[in-house]
Amino acid sequence: MIQKMKKFLLHLMCVVSLSLMMTSCIDFNTGDETIEEEEVIELTRCWALKSFCGVEAEMDVRINFVKDGNFTIYQRNEALTYTVFNGTYEVDAENSLISGTYEDGASWVSTYHYIVDVEARELTLESVENPAEVAVYAPSKIPASATTSSTRSASVNDVKPL
């Protein structure tokens, strides 16, 4: 009985923690996505896709890297609803590499070289495979609409963004 109670509390703490992490980048009061110039620019934050392989992004993709090694990706589709991808990531800081695994066990398509350019206020992810694919992100917040009931969690059959 005590073992079941401990397991229940652990699961409850995980749910509460995830809820807090998902809201940490949202300004529900204003819906404002502006980023203050004084904010610290580092990998662990929310990012919005600016361009992919040199072409301006045609879709809204946001990624939130959390310091505990979890990530959430919000990808808006044609119906203007968001698909949510959750998982974990690992950083090899010495080699500036990042890789990840979705919660369904699938790995990212590639491992990526990453560069956080503080002056340009950008995150660049470049796949290690040839030909390399380069995605550039800007600091962002997760729109409130990405966390509403119209949002759906991704399944194994969904196309993963990374």
Nearest to 161 by CA among 56, 44, 83: 83
Domains in the chain, ordered, with CATH? 2-153 (2.40.128.280)
DSSP 8-class letter at 66: -
pLDDT digits over 59-106, tens only? Answer: 899 999 999 999 999 998 777 788 899 999 999 999 999 999 999 999
Residue 49, token pair as written in the block:
């896709």
The gap from C-alpha 110 to its chain's centroid, in whole angstroms, comes to 15
Per-residue confidence (pLDDT) for residue 15, from 0 to 100: 36
Residues of the chain where predicted confidence (pLDDT) is lower than 50: 1-35, 156
Q: Is the dihedral of CA 23, 144, 44, 66 positive or negative?
A: positive
Per-residue confidence (pLDDT) for residue 4, from 0 to 100: 41
The gap from C-alpha 157 to its chain's centroid, in whole angstroms, comes to 19
Per-residue confidence (pLDDT) for residue 79, from 0 to 100: 74
